Structure formats: structure tokens, C-alpha cells
Amino acid sequence: MLSTLIADFRIIFERDPAARNWLEVLFCYPGLQALLLHRLAHWLHVIGGIPLIPRLISHIARFLTGIEIHPGAVIGQGVFIDHGMGVVIGETAIVRDYTLIYQGVTLGGTGKECGKRHPTLGENVVVGAGAKVLGNIQIGNNVRIGAGSVVLRDVPADCTVVGVPGRIIYRSGVRVNPLEHGSLPDAEAQVIRALVDRLEQLEQQIQQLQQGQQKVLIPFVNSSLQTPHTCDSQTLNDQAFLEETGICCRLENKVIEEFLDGSGI
């Protein structure tokens, strides 16, 4: 227990450049205070036979710090809750060692199911401000969850997730500074840009058709073979040709497909 408390204290100086001395950290960091009270409440919760006191300690910690951690939650050593206001950690949540949690984060459930209903976070996970991680899901080691994201599925180790719902944008091999949330790309903006580009292409094709200058090659995909082709607009309007090839007129775009299918999560 003592080694855990020391790790909780030291990690603040490693991750927060504003931490200047031990008195300031001890009395002015609600994340540390909430963890200290939680560890007492969790110990009382584990030994059993005390139905009220652990929840009362949790309630007092919530009143003093704005951080609500259920006594049943399992919190590893070296966990840092930065600022912390509005953080909620559910009863069956598991947060492993050296996880960094910013303000407004929720580690919650998705309903009233019994048993394990809250997420499990691996080691060295970073959960950005306002992010929601919901349900009995597994978040791998070294995962980065961008601010404001909503994660509803398991995430493999060494990935970066952003968006609503959360989508993987980086996998292992690409390092993202855990404090540099501004370096995360905007998945929604990329998809909107791809759709705008597609609209511009369609407008150009319509103009060419109206001017009657040339046959316009239109992209399509063979639905049976899943292979891309092109044909002119007159051929594409031929019903026999449509029935023979079983095609649907659409543009293959990797960015849009990954956005719609969750980028592999």
C-alpha cells in the first residue's frame, strides 16, 4: 500500500509541469486526494461487512474533489487524474498502472446489466478530457483516447482512438505524445473533405454531360467480384449491362470506408 501511495505521488511530478513542491501537490491536487480516499474506501469495500462506510467515503471525496470513484473500482499504482472535475469511474471498472485521466472522463456502463459492466484500461493509457469509455470493453496497453471521444468497442494495444464513436487512427509503430492532444487528426474533417471532393467530381461530370463534349467515365464496383471498373454514362444506363455485371455506382474511398466501419476497432 505504501509503495502505491508513493507512486501516486511521484507520477504527478513526472507528468505535470505545474507541480512545484510536495505541499502544493498534497493539498491542491484533487486527483491525488480522490485516489487517497478511494484506496481507503476500496480497502473497506474488499474486506466486506461494511455496507455504508465505503460509499460514504466515496461521496465525501466526490463532494470535496468533484471526482466520483465507486469503492468497488480497482485502481492501479501511479494513476494520475489531472484536474479531475467531473471524472466518474464505475463499480466494476479496472484502471491499471500509470494511466493518465483528464477532467470530464467517464468510465461507465451501457445499461443495467449485472456483473462486469465497466471498462478495463491497460497500463500507460491516456484518456483525454471529456472522453467516454462505456461498457465491459478492453482497452489495451499504451492506448491514447482523444478528448471528447466515445469508445464503445475493444481497442488493441498501442493504438490512438478519436471520434464519436471512437475510431482507431494510429496503430503500433506511430508514437503520439500523451500530452499533445492537439496533434491528433480530425477524422470527421477528413471524411467531410473526401465527400466534398467527390461532389466536385460529380459536378464536373454533370457539366461535361450537359455540354455533350465527351463520354464521361463513371467509376463503379462489381458487387459480385468486388472489383473496381469504369464505363461511360450511356453503358451504365443499360439495364442489361447492370443485370449482367451486378454493379452499383459508387466511389471507393478508403477514408470513408474506415470511418463508417470504425477504422478496424
Q: What is the pLDDT of residues 184-204, one digit of tens each?
A: 666 667 778 778 888 888 888
**124 and 218 assigned to the same domain:** no
Question: Does 96 have pLDDT greater than 90?
Answer: yes
Q: Which domain holds residue 68?
A: 2-183
Q: Which residue has the higher pLDDT, 243 or 42?
A: 42
Spatial separation of the C-alpha atoms in residues 73 and 207, rounded to whole Å:
62
Question: Is the residue at 265 inside a domain?
Answer: no
Please say which residue of 183, 203, 222 terminates a domain.
Answer: 183
**Going edge to edge, which strands form the sheet with 247-248?**
227-232, 217-222, 247-248
**Using CB atoms within 10 A of its CB, is residue 182 exposed (0-12), middle (13-18) or buried (19+)?**
exposed
Number of domains in the chain: 2
Cis peptide before 165 (omega within 30 of 0): yes
Q: What percent of the chain has pLDDT over 90?
A: 38
Spatial separation of the C-alpha atoms in residues 142 and 168, rounded to whole Å:
13
Instruction: Report the pLDDT value the prediction gives residue 225, as an integer from 0 to 100.
Output: 45
Instruction: Report the pLDDT value the prediction gives residue 8, as an integer from 0 to 100.
Output: 84
Spatial separation of the C-alpha atoms in residues 97 and 244, rounded to whole Å:
59
Please say which residue of 160, 183, 206 terminates a domain.
Answer: 183
Please give the average per-residue pLDDT across 140-161, as a whole number.
Answer: 90
Question: Does 66 have pLDDT greater than 90?
Answer: yes
